[in-house]
Amino acid sequence: IGNIPDAVLSCLKKHKDLGIHSEMFSDGVVDLVEEGCVTNTFKKNHPGKITGSFMVGTRKLFDFVDNNPFVGVGGQVDFIRGAAVGRDGKGKPILAMPSTTNKGESKIVPYLKQGGGVVTTRAHVHYLVTEYGIAYLFGKSLRQRAFELIRIAHPNHREELEKEAFTRLKCMPSL
């Protein structure tokens, strides 16, 4: 949600015959359809159709959806798990987010705040993407995951994350 989906989608303009099966989609999907990049032709489930739970965008997006059925309140974990077990074996469970909040706080943290909720378990997330790179997390130990996450955190927060990782994991993840 926010600028990340459209930023990622804008990088796909040189691709052809893409299929969209996502929890949410935004205006960037409309652009890809109009440019012929998204055809949904080769999808195993619902070929020729875009599948999603909800949309975030402008009037352009809602006009695009028009009278097509749309319902849902989200379902991140369902889409993450679905991507991992796709029939063609090519699905990739990917989460994308900015590395910081609007207030400059790191979104990559050593622990959850009291009362913080978990939507998708660490066992289900294969890739996490920020503006600083891609962390491949699947099958990694806690130390390896810490290293990968610190590597894609905002540079202003990496030193503090390293210290917390050392305190909690008794090692420097980057070593």
Residues 11 and 61 in one domain: yes
Residues 115 and 160 in one domain: yes
- Please confirm, yes or no, whether 23 is among the known catalytic residues: yes
Residues 112 and 156 in one domain: yes
Residues 13 and 45 in one domain: yes
What's 11's domain CATH number? 3.30.750.70
Q: Is residue 107 part of a domain?
A: yes
Report the alpha-carbon distance of residue 6 to residue 139 in Å, rounded.
29
Whether the full predicted model's pTM is greater than 0.85, yes or no, is: no
Tens digits of residue pLDDT in 44-96: 888 888 888 778 888 999 898 887 765 544 577 777 888 888 777 777 888 99
Residues 109 and 67 in one domain: no
pLDDT averaged over every residue in the chain:
86
What's 144's domain CATH number? 3.40.1080.20
Q: Is residue 89 part of a domain?
A: no
Q: Pick from 53, 52, 50, 56: which is nearest to 32 by CA?
A: 50
Residues 106 and 49 in one domain: no
Residues 50 and 112 in one domain: no
Give the full edge-to-edge strand order of the sheet including 133-136.
94-96, 127-130, 133-136
Q: Is residue 10 part of a domain?
A: yes
Range of the domain at 149: 95-169
Residue 98 has pLDDT above 80, yes or no: yes
Which is it for strands 133-136 and 127-130: parallel, antiparallel or unpaired?
Answer: antiparallel
Last residue of a domain, one of 74, 103, 136: 74
Tens digits of residue pLDDT in 113-167: 888 878 788 888 999 999 999 999 999 999 999 999 999 999 999 999 999 999 9
Residues 104 and 163 in one domain: yes
Q: Is residue 175 part of a domain?
A: no
Residues 56 and 25 in one domain: yes
Q: Is residue 37 part of a domain?
A: yes
The structure tokens 């989608």 sit at 9
* Cβ-based neighbours of 158, under 8 Å, separated by 6 or more: 150
Structural domain count of the chain:
2
